[in-house]
Structure 1
């Protein structure tokens, strides 16, 4: 098995959630680590994939909102500073992969499946092979203890339950 790491300058780990039932708030994590081990990244079926996100690095382009997300109302970074993902099973379906694994948020672990596309492989100007992937998954935030919300006068709630996780990766072989 060969080890690969994420090129963070060419990757993004993000999310989006409905806001006030009419728009979407998007954000991401600026600090994370990831490791992928595979025989060949062009075929992920035997890969071992792990991620760890520094929750304090959450960035939604609003300092007040980011501070609220870090508080005990949401992620409680003082008690739960990281989010982890560890793959458990990967299957190939046509040109896509279903990457199933354990996602742990606030001490709660649930099985989540990322629908993953291999975008291809290339060689950068320094002669290093790079591999590109995109993946998405949807979770119910309340299942992970992220239950804070506020009712709106017009009906509905401030924050939607469904979170879309969006991963865009460029991976490099560990030299």
Structure 2
């Protein structure tokens, strides 16, 4: 019996272990989560000051990779007092009712050299699919992760009413993140 148990243990240890994505911790002081849009023909940029991200990623194991990001919308800043005052209000983010946005991946795919993250964004009480371009660069025991994509604000009911006119505020809002990651 001992010989059988020993043989089974040896066989189990010799089997390849299923590889998976590595877990990372975001380094907040070196990371940014931002957005860019157009108001009356002029471009503007903004950032979110408060957000969390759970990142598991390995370019060789995309099937086990995952992003899960929560954003406190009240932390949106563009550097323009009027815009920064309007964003939390009912016409835009409506933070009294919808204080957070949430993005979670549903999968990753390789298109040529580009990795695409498919996922669902919940914003303003609406959940819609969103795709992001992913660039991942290992650095020592950590990595740099850059993502970019476009969100159609009216699909989520952001900037409705008087602000639904896309000649005043463009329909497309670019989402940009630059994350410095440390291995867990």
TM-score higher than 0.5: yes
1:81 to 99, 120, 127: 99
1:135–1:166: 8 Å Cα contact kept in structure 2? yes
Shift of 1:43: 3.3
Is 1:34 the counterpart of 2:46? The answer is no
Normalising by structure 1, we get a TM-score of: 0.85
Normalising by structure 2, we get a TM-score of: 0.81
Match in the other structure for 1:126: none
Summarize the Cα distance change of 1:56–1:44 in structure 2 as closer, same or farther, 3 Å threshold: farther
Shift of 1:18: 1.2
Q: Unaligned 5+ residue runs, structure 1?
A: 124-128
Q: Unaligned 5+ residue runs, structure 2?
A: 1-19
Shift of 1:143: 0.5
1:90 to 104, 108, 113: 108
Point out which structure has higher relative CO (alpha carbons under 8 A, 6+ apart).
Answer: 1
Larger strand proportion of the pair: 1
1:4-61, CA deviations, whole angstroms, 9 ceiling, x for partnerless residues? Answer: 12111111111111111x22111010110000124xx343612111000000100101
Larger helix proportion of the pair: 2
Aligned length: 162
**Could you say what the CA RMSD is over the residues aligned between the two structures, in angstroms?**
1.9
1:74–1:148: 8 Å Cα contact kept in structure 2? no
Q: Using the alignment, how far apart are the partners of 1:8 and 1:57 within structure 2?
A: 14
TM alignment of 1:1-175, pairs within 5 A: 1=20, 2-20=22-40, 22-38=41-57, 41-43=58-60, 45=62, 46-118=64-136, 120-123=137-140, 129-146=141-158, 147-150=160-163, 157-174=167-184
Structure with higher Rg: it is 2
